[in-house]
Chains A and B, each alone.
Chain A
Amino acid sequence: VSAEELFIRSSRWTGAAAVVLVCAWLVLVVQAPVERVQGIVQKVFYLHVSLICPAYLGFVLAAVGGIGFLGTRSEAWDRFALAGAEVGVLFTTLILATGPLWAKPVWGHWWVWDLRLTLTLVLWFVYVAYLFLRAFTQGSDAARTFAAVYAIAGTFVIPFNYYAVELARGSTMHPSNPASEGLPAGMVLPLLTGMLAFLVLFAHLVARRLEIERLEARLEAEVA
């Protein structure tokens, strides 16, 4: 049994695990203390921040798949890259959607062009462009090679995005990364549970997306 097949089979239990973890996380979010300054809307934090890990991981998987494809010319690696990028774009879209819903009541603005927000938008555009590239160049080995190099190059945005608040040196409205701030005790467990829940859900969605790519490849091979 190939590693791809094992990963796809894992979606059975990762789906169930994700449902259990998300339910536990929601209970913890409801029970988490209400922040004194921002009030109840601060609980968007547990959602917005938890989405970042799977978003980054999706783009890292796209690069890993790209490296694997360039090294082996195996289409399995190429499928892995595409599945990672697509699910990564989904999670980044949700970061971009939840950020303004938190910013409006707290900052008074839906969006500001500071470094963190702008680089998140750039990261999203980079991988949306990757998905367009894949959609319009199906089946070509040259296109797969270019897409692999593109996916690897795209990951260079990630560290700039992660350290954007530090790089901006105070000229940003966006809070620092939670790890460097030091969270109150009651906020740590809901955040970590949320991160774990979304990572498991991410693994489930990537496996299901990978299965579709494999089925499509099988059908194309039958037609050809």
Chain B
Amino acid sequence: MAYLLAAYGVVFAALVGYALWLRARRSALASSDGPGAS
């Protein structure tokens, strides 16, 4: 059971982490791209 939870945990942590990192990077770039950026 520990191996199963570890496998699913690693995948979800990595995918959610990557999605959040993309969002943060997009926000930072959009804010420096001027007020018209969306």
Contact = CB atoms under 8 A, between A and B. Distances in A.
Chain B interface extent, by class: 20 to 34
Contacts of B1: 40-41
Interface string B4-16: 1011101100110
Given A90-B18, A94-B11, A215-B37, A44 B3 contact: yes
Contact of A208 (B6, B8, B19, B33): B19
Contact of A219 (B10, B23, B29): B29
Contact of A101 (B10, B18, B22, B26): B10
Contact of B6 (A94, A101, A219): A101
Contacts of A78: none
A219 B6 CA distance: 40
Contacts, number: 66
A47 B1 CA distance: 14
Contact of B7 (A48, A201, A204, A215): A48
Chain A binding surface, main DSSP class: helix
A102 B32 CA distance: 44
B2 to A, nearest CB: 9
A43 B7 CA distance: 10
Given A40-B1, A94-B14, A219-B32, A211 B26 contact: yes
B37 A102 contact: no
Contacts of A44: 3-4, 7-8
Interface string A203-219: 01100110110011011
Contact of A104 (B3, B8, B37): B3
Top 7 nearest A-B pairs (CB, nearest first) are A215-B29, A101-B7, A208-B22, A98-B7, A44-B7, A101-B3, A105-B3
6 contacts: A40-B1, A97-B11, A98-B10, A212-B22, A216-B29, A218-B33
